Structure 1
Amino acid sequence: MIFVIAWITVLLALAFMFTNGFQDASAIAATFIASRSATPRQGIILVATMGLLGALLGGSAVAFTISGLLSIEPDTQLVFVLLSAVTTATIWNLVTWKFGLPSSSTHSLLGGLIGAGIASGGAGCISWGIESLLFPPHELTGFFKVLVYLVISVILGFIGGYGMRTITRLVLRNAKRNANRTISRFNWIAAGAMAFSNGANDSQKQMGIIALVLLSAGLTASTEVPLWTRAACALLLFAGTLSGGWRIMATLGRRIFRIEPVHSFDSQVSSGAIITTSTLAGAPVSSSHVISMSVIGVGAADNPRKIQWSVGKEILIAMVLTIPATMVLSFILSSCILTCAGGPP
């Protein structure tokens, strides 16, 4: 029975990877396409391909961070916890996609893990990381590490976008109108690099979940990410990106403010730098939120009056609500599953 549940959980994690493609990856393509640097087909194919390469070549540091968030022995109970977490996260992705909100797959997965973990064995089942921060060796670990990087990355997204736009305005103050053609070419490089960074960071979250499921079901002997898992996550991210996510693209690409090639370039460069740094540090961050805030930062530096701040407010509300909402939903779902399975509560 546990093997069946384990493989169902793996399939759900892969489905979550697919939704991640049209959630987070579509946010990357949004400014690239909206700035008319590429056609929709060209933009989606570039982002999907580079995301695929990022997932295949991006390492495993983020995966190990995710797999270490729960202090639960790898057994049947942990499989049920992970099943609840990925189910909740997938549902949340689909709901926010339906309303065209660039919600965070990372936030939804994190909330799902915490809610299910608490339902399984209380708050002690979560690796909060407070002790390792307060006492030697004073390191950022566990949930606190993820939370710090999530918050800082969003703030840096706005600051980075604002800063990049300030710099490019200064550098291009005497540029002619046809400079947009050159900037559009650079956008291909910036968007490709950004998509690679996103693929490297986002795919590892699902890799970590799948590795834990396989270990808990006795199908592997460690949390090392199998090659087939990396390949499957990469392909599902690729497929999810190709599927579009047009509602989210419309929100980021057209509803905040009118994006020109230079705006796309500024956003891609600043976001890519933040996400790449986070990936190297083994910290899962929200690509969609970093990009969203960088777009708002770019617009604020250009002309704050042109920004549709009501759209920014919607995005911020989605940011704030995602973790607590998915925590509650996952707690309820996990409690029901564990009760039916004869475990806690």
Structure 2
Amino acid sequence: MNFLGAILGGSAVAFTLSGLLTITSGVLLLQVLLAALIAAATWNIGAWYFGFPSSSTHALIGGLIGAGITAAGIESVYWGVAEFLVPPHEITGMVKVMLFLILSIVLGLVGGYLMRRCTWLLFRNAKRTINRSIIRVNWVATAGMAFFNGSNDAQKQLGIIALVLLASGEYAALTVPFWARFACASLLTVGTLGGGWRIMKTIGSKIFALEPVHSLDSQISSGVTLGLSTLAGAPVSSTHIITMSVIGVGAADNPRNVRWHVGKELFISVIVTMPGTMVISSIILMIIQNI
């Protein structure tokens, strides 16, 4: 479903991401993109190694902003401030990105909490044998969440590829070719299968002791939030959304059983990831330009 989401999920998120930079020089834009990708990859590898619930989305956006400002000043970033007071569906630029990054985390937390309260009322008199049915429904909920996760995550890379093709002169306008979509879908699938176990362990067992109904609540909350964000063309952090949904489920079930330090780590991650990758990408860009 990650693979299918990347193939069938559209290009709205990709075009939002590719519109964050206003640099017109093809050579300079390629240098900025390279620096941003190296910075984001470096940060993501470190987060994976330590099992830190960091956001690859925050890392990539921070890398783009840092390298862009270093290359051509603060005006090289399309902030979208002038559009902030327009109807919500017309908000764009960094304002849109930051708005959804924050809003999606809140929706994940509140959605998880409300889902748990609803299922508690629905199943309060049920026997333990109902878990068999809940597990079956969980497969459907997980499939939906994975589809929108694949859609949103893959489009971030597709946005970068579209910019590279434009800056190099391969295409005259922003375009997402199918070969790029297929490649991103394949690599996202392989990466999920082989590289995410440390973070999965943190989310699945170190926040709250999940039973089948808790998992169902979290998957539905996360899937809906990811789906709405993808339809809105907003790049968001699936790691943060899912983590907050688990915290919300746990808070609704029994706050004393929630390991709140994970939420603290996530909060720290939100604060430090973007500035950190801004600095790293700036340094990398200066090195690239001096080679």
TM-score (norm 2): 0.97
Cα distance change on mapping 1:310 and 1:212 into 2, 3 Å? same
Cα distance change on mapping 1:134 and 1:193 into 2, 3 Å? closer
Secondary structure of the corresponding residue to residue 128 of structure 2? coil
Identity %: 59
Cα distance change on mapping 1:149 and 1:135 into 2, 3 Å? closer
Q: Within the alignment, does 1:264 sit opposite 2:215 as a pair?
A: yes
Contact kept, 8 Å, 2:53 with 2:265, in 1: the verdict is: no
Aligned AA (1:79):
L
Q: 1: CA distance between counterparts of 2:257 and 2:192?
A: 29
Contact kept, 8 Å, 1:120 with 1:338, in 2: the verdict is: no
Cα distance change on mapping 1:74 and 1:234 into 2, 3 Å? farther
Aligned length: 291
Secondary structure of the corresponding residue to residue 60 of structure 2? helix
Contact kept, 8 Å, 1:52 with 1:237, in 2: the verdict is: yes
Post-superposition shift, 1:53? 0.4
Structure-1 residue corresponding to 2:238: 287
Post-superposition shift, 1:333? 1.2
Q: Which of 281, 301, 305 does residue 256 from structure 2 map onto?
A: 305
Structure-1 residue corresponding to 2:159: 208
CA RMSD of aligned residues (A): 1.4
Cα distance change on mapping 1:239 and 1:135 into 2, 3 Å? closer
Structure-1 residue corresponding to 2:186: 235
Q: Within the alignment, does 1:337 sit opposite 2:282 as a pair?
A: no
Q: 2: CA distance between counterparts of 1:302 and 1:137?
A: 34
Aligned AA (1:142):
G
Structure-2 residue corresponding to 1:144: 95
Structure-2 residue corresponding to 1:110: 61
Contact kept, 8 Å, 1:205 with 1:284, in 2: the verdict is: yes
Structure-2 residue corresponding to 1:72: 23
Q: Which runs of 4+ in 1 moved over 6 A?
A: 135-138
Q: Within the alignment, does 1:153 sit opposite 2:104 as a pair?
A: yes
Aligned AA (1:149):
F
Q: 1: CA distance between counterparts of 2:166 and 2:210?
A: 46
- After superposition, give the CA deviation of every residue in 1:219-270 in whole Å (9 maximum; x if it has no partner): 2222110110000000000110110411111111111111100011000001
Cα distance change on mapping 1:170 and 1:325 into 2, 3 Å? same
Q: 2: CA distance between counterparts of 1:150 and 1:76?
A: 30
Structure-1 residue corresponding to 2:175: 224
Aligned AA (2:129):
N
Post-superposition shift, 1:102? 2.0
Cα distance change on mapping 1:127 and 1:299 into 2, 3 Å? same
- Describe how 1:1-345 pairs up with structure 2 within 5 A: 50-134=1-85, 139-340=90-291
Contact kept, 8 Å, 1:58 with 1:201, in 2: the verdict is: yes
Q: 1: CA distance between counterparts of 2:174 and 2:111?
A: 35
Q: 1: CA distance between counterparts of 2:180 and 2:142?
A: 26
Unaligned 5+ runs, structure 1: 1-49, 341-345
Aligned AA (1:187):
N
Post-superposition shift, 1:138? 9.2
Cα distance change on mapping 1:292 and 1:214 into 2, 3 Å? same
Secondary structure of the corresponding residue to residue 228 of structure 1? helix
Cα distance change on mapping 1:155 and 1:243 into 2, 3 Å? same
Q: 2: CA distance between counterparts of 1:68 and 1:194?
A: 26
Post-superposition shift, 1:134? 4.4
Cα distance change on mapping 1:248 and 1:136 into 2, 3 Å? closer
Contact kept, 8 Å, 1:186 with 1:265, in 2: the verdict is: yes
- After superposition, give the CA deviation of every residue in 1:276-318 in whole Å (9 maximum; x if it has no partner): 0111111111111000000000000000000111122112211
Aligned AA (2:5):
G
